[in-house]
C-alpha cells in the first residue's frame, strides 16, 4: 500500500478539500456506472443475450460484425473501467 504525505499550514482544510473532491468524483462515477448499466441492459434486451453470452459469442466469431456490437463492447469496457476507478477511490484511507 502506498502512502501519500501532504504538508500544509492548514492540514484539516486540505483534508476536507481532498475528501470533498473524492466524494464528488465518486458520485460522478456512480452516475456513469448507472448509465452504462442501463445501456448494457438495452443491448441485452434488443439482442436477447446477456453481456457474458455476447462476449463469448463475439470472441468465438459466432456473430456478424455490427456497429452496435462495437458500442456494446465499448460500454462493457467503460463499465469495467468505472468499477475499477470506484474501487480505487473507495480504498483510500485517511490517516493522521
Q: What is the pLDDT of residues 6-39, one digit of tens each?
A: 888 998 899 999 999 999 999 999 999 999 999 9
The full set of domain ranges for the chain reads: 17-90
Strands (E) located in 5-84: none
| pTM check: above 0.95 | no
CA–CA dist 28, 86 (Å, integer) = 10
pLDDT number for residue 71: 98
Cell numbers found for residue 62: 459466432
Residue among 81, 71, 84 at smallest CA distance from 40: 71
Residue among 82, 64, 73 at smallest CA distance from 40: 73
Give yes or no for a contact between 76 and 51, defined as CB atoms under 8 angstroms apart: yes
Give yes or no for a contact between 88 and 26, defined as CB atoms under 8 angstroms apart: no
Q: What is the pLDDT of residues 46-80, one digit of tens each?
A: 999 999 999 999 999 999 999 999 999 999 999 99
- 96 pLDDT higher than 80: no
Amino acid at each position: 500500500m502506498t502512502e501519500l504525505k501532504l504538508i500544509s499550514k492548514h492540514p484539516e482544510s486540505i483534508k476536507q478539500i481532498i475528501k470533498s473532491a473524492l466524494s464528488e468524483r465518486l458520485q460522478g462515477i456512480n452516475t456513469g456506472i448507472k448509465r452504462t448499466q442501463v445501456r448494457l441492459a438495452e443491448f441485452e434486451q434488443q439482442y436477447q443475450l446477456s453481456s457474458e453470452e455476447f462476449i463469448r459469442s463475439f470472441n468465438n466469431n459466432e456473430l456478424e460484425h455490427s456497429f452496435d456490437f462495437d458500442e456494446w463492447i465499448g460500454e462493457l469496457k467503460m463499465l469495467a473501467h468505472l468499477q475499477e476507478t470506484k474501487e480505487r477511490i473507495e480504498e483510500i484511507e485517511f490517516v493522521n
